[in-house]
Amino acid sequence: MAEDDQLNRDDQDTTANATWSRLLAGNRRFAEGKPEHPWQDATTRETLIDRQNPDAAVLACSDSRVPPEIVFDAGLGDLFTVRTAGQIIDDAVLASLEYAVAKLHVSLLVILGHEGCGAIDTAAAELDAMIAATTEDPAGSLEAADEMADLDERIAEADSIILRTVGLSVWQARESELEEHADFERVHVARTIEELVTRSEVIQNALAHDRLMIVGARYQLTTGKVEVLSF
């Protein structure tokens, strides 16, 4: 990449909308099989030795097929990424994202789920097992009905972190009569955003002062495209 381009990156529009447009443009290049692999050269690496100034943070699934830098055709210094299976939030994830917001001043936070997420499969299976165990309760159908009514609480208190987090999303989707795997993935992104905002004062403050925009998205393995979710 030419030196002029290097200088220009500092001048690019870093508002959340402009950043999101750039990421989506990168995803289009990737999906069309025309990635530019920007900012991955030695000169870029050298300019980033003493500082980083990413415009966006991404919380994505750890799935090997969904690396944010590749699917958004981004480079060194572009994205602050946190990845866990099913983009589950815990204290370490919260602290990492809060660092990106409070210290690195990212203007955009992308929550990226994806098609064919194994964490959703696991959570749905664990949820089915919990429901089966509840309804097969030999103590009597009345007690079983009570336990089913409290199912959300029982999910929230489960030992399995996948069930507590992703499982609750699957359960909420089913309560809304959504049965498609893709819908579970979309609902889980929405719930992840909700949880993030509920649990983090740093993120609440940044949103309240228009210093941060949060977007939900779902990467499609079949097309390579990122589907923008609106809730």
Residues at the site binding Zn ion, with contacts judged by CB under 5 A: 61, 63, 117, 119
Torsion sign over Cα 121, 126, 131, 132: positive
User: What is the residue-wise DSSP string for 28-73?
Assistant: HHHHTT----TT-SHHHHHHTSS----SEEEEEE--TT--HHHHTT
Residue (117 or 206) nearer to Zn ion, CB = 117
Please name the residue that has the structure tokens 């815990």: 90
Question: Any binding-site annotation on 117?
Answer: yes
Residue (117 or 196) nearer to Zn ion, CB = 117
Q: Cβ of residue 62: shortest distance to Zn ion, in angstroms? A: 7
Which ranges constitute the DSSP H helices of 72-117? 91-102
Please name the residue that has the structure tokens 């699917």: 71
Question: Any binding-site annotation on 210?
Answer: no
Say whether 94 sits in a helix, a strand or coil: helix
Residue (73 or 115) nearer to Zn ion, CB = 115
Residue (27 or 122) nearer to Zn ion, CB = 122
Q: Which residues are annotated as a binding site?
A: 61, 63, 114, 117
Residue positions forming the annotated binding site for Zn(2+): 61, 63, 114, 117
